[in-house]
A and B are shown apart, each in its own frame.
Chain A
Amino acid sequence: MILALLFDTLLAVAMIVVAVWMISVKNAFAAIIDFMVFGLLLALAWLRIEAPDVGLTEIAIGSGATGVILLRARGLARDRDEMSATPSIGFKILVGALCGGVTLGLAALVLMPPDPAPTLAYAAAENLHLTGVGNPITAVLMAYRAFDTFLETVVVLLALLGVWSLTPDRFWGGRPGPAPAASVPAPLTFLAQWLVPLGVLIGIYIFWIGADEPGGKFQGATILAAMWVLLMMAGLTDAPPVTSRRLRAALLVGPAVFMAVGIAGFWLAGDFLAYPPDFAKPVIIVIEAAMLISVAAALGMLLAGPPMRESEP
């Protein structure tokens, strides 16, 4: 018990040190790498407060995918480093006092918890058998709060639309990202050729196991998207043009199936997004599989960025 708390304290101190370093280090590249390290520590913290599903998501999306996106902009940060003026010491002290106040207020909330702690865990457990899935997180995402999850995939799509609409006019209809490099280092090609089949298998496994154990479509989709980006980096495949019909179909299949099942719920179960009893689990798996495709495609295209090349004739 003492040993566990000792570990928690060490981890907490490490997280704070890394966070302070991330804000204060001069070099933008170092700060981004630091952010990814921070994500790994944060995932450990999620395991310690018994949220393995969140830990997996933090590793895959919070640390990994977000880090990659930020690395895409690192050159930019370097360009602008000298251009920006630093605020005065007085301003910093003022802001420091403000932020200290916010932290103290939150800390007071942590130290004076409501008793008993509010919880929906019992309600979630009581109805778990109705959904047919064993992982309560998946039950929340796909049954109790399915509407939130539906809107969330729409948010991911909207972000992609936003990224695409920032395309300079002359590149519209082109392919995202820079043109594939003429010569790719041999180890990268080797990695892509051997890792991608295995990675696709692991991504689908993480999705499949999510019904009963920690895992799920978001984590699985991130692995699939990462494998896609690895193939693009190794020059084994090129990003599809943003006008590609197949790409657009892949992006839309998840929300479309979700919407269709939701409307079908009016006839089959009496309400929007209600699942017919006895068939809840197969319905959930069909929606999740369609969402896996859409989320993986959207994440992959978000990682690749807006079109940067003229469209081919």
Chain B
Amino acid sequence: MSLILDLFTIVCVAIGLIFFAAGTTGLLRFPDALTRLHALTKADNLGLGFVVLGLLPQTGSLFDALKLVLVWMLVQFAGATGAQLVAMVLRKEGGGK
């Protein structure tokens, strides 16, 4: 049983890392601020989401698991708001091209 859970952790965290790598590539390679923003927020949400999902079976208690999920939700919340604010500034300045 613990072998299956460990495998689940390894697979999920690996998928999460792939999303992080893809997001970082996008951040470095995409041509303008809006697409870079898109790559970054996707990487944060899905990448961190998979890492947290993978780590859930490794937590000792339900409370610790809930704290991990809370961390993911807070990052989503902050990332989404930050991305919106950056995009709004871009639009006001007539950039984003």
Contacts and interface: CB of A to CB of B under 8 A. Distances in A.
Interface stretch (A47-55, A62-70, A183-191, A283-291): A183-191
A185 B77 contact: no
A195 B78 CA distance: 9
Contacts, number: 19
A194 interface: yes
Contacts of B85: 185, 187-188
A296 to B, nearest CB: 19
Range for the number of chain B residues in contact with chain A: under 10
B88 interface: yes
B86 to A, nearest CB: 10
Interface in A169-195: 185, 187-188, 190-191, 194-195
Interface in B72-95: 74, 77-78, 80-81, 84-85, 88
A191 B77 contact: yes
A188 B78 CA distance: 10
Contacts of A194: 77
- Indicate the member of B80, B81, B88 with the most A CB atoms within 10 Å: B81
Contacts of B88: 185, 187
Which 6 residue pairs across A and B have the least CB separation, nearest first? Answer: A187-B84, A191-B81, A187-B81, A185-B88, A185-B85, A187-B85
Interface of A: 185, 187-188, 190-191, 194-195, 198
13 contacts: A185-B84, A185-B88, A187-B80, A187-B81, A188-B81, A188-B85, A190-B81, A191-B77, A191-B78, A191-B81, A194-B77, A195-B74, A195-B78
